[in-house]
Chain A
Amino acid sequence: MESFLPTLLLTSLQGLLLISGGVLFVVGSIGLLRFPDTCSRVHALTKADNLGLGLIVLGLILGTNSLGVALKLLLIWLLVMFASTLSGHLVAWYACYHPAEKPLPQEPSDD
Chain B
Amino acid sequence: MIDLLLVCGLWSLALTTLLTPNAFRALVFFILLGLLLTLVWIRLDAPDIALAEAALGTGITGVLLLDTLKQQPQHALLCVHRTRIFWAVFSGLSLTLALSWALLQAPAMPIALDQTLTAQLDASGVSHPITAVLLNFRAYDTLLEIGVLLLALFAGQGLHERQHPLEQLSGAQLHNPFLRASLALWLPGMLLLATYLLWAGAHQPGGAFQAGAVLAAAFILMHLCGLALDAQVSQHLLRIGVLVGFVLFLVVASSSMLAGQTLLTYPSAWAGELILLIELALTFSIGLILFSLFTLNHQMRKESA
Contact = CB atoms under 8 A, between A and B. Distances in A.
A33 interface: no
Nearest to B183: A86
Given A82-B182, A86-B182, A104 B176 contact: no
A79 to B, nearest CB: 9
Interface string A88-107: 01100100000000011101
B70 interface: yes
Contact of A104 (B22, B174, B186): B22
A103 B179 CA distance: 21
Nearest to A89: B178
Interface string A65-87: 00000000000000000100010
A86 B178 CA distance: 8
Contacts of B77: 105
B28 to A, nearest CB: 11
B199 interface: no
Given A90-B174, A90-B176, A93-B176, A103 B182 contact: no
Contacts, number: 27
Interface in A23-64: none
A103 B24 contact: yes
B85 to A, nearest CB: 19
B73 A104 contact: yes
A103 B24 CA distance: 9
Interface residues of B, number: 14
A90 B22 contact: no
Interface in B151-177: 174, 176
Contacts of A104: 22-24, 73, 76
Q: Which residue among B23, B76, B174, B176 has the maximum number of chain A CB atoms within 10 Å of its CB?
A: B176
Nearest to B77: A105
A82 B179 CA distance: 11
Nearest to B178: A89
Contacts of A93: 176, 178
A30 B23 CA distance: 24
B20 to A, nearest CB: 9
Contacts of A107: 21-22
B176 A105 contact: no
B69 to A, nearest CB: 8
Nearest to B22: A107
Interface string A1-13: 0000000000000
A92 to B, nearest CB: 11
Given A82-B182, A90-B174, A90-B176, A103 B73 contact: yes
Contacts of A105: 22, 76-77
Contacts of B176: 89-90, 93
9 contacts: A82-B182, A86-B182, A89-B178, A90-B176, A90-B178, A103-B24, A104-B22, A104-B76, A105-B22
Given A86-B179, A90-B176, A93-B176, 17 more contacts: A82-B182, A82-B186, A86-B178, A86-B182, A89-B178, A90-B179, A103-B24, A103-B70, A103-B73, A104-B22, A104-B23, A104-B24, A104-B76, A105-B22, A105-B77, A107-B21, A107-B22
9 A-B pairs with least C-beta separation: A104-B24, A104-B76, A86-B182, A89-B178, A93-B176, A107-B22, A105-B76, A105-B77, A90-B179
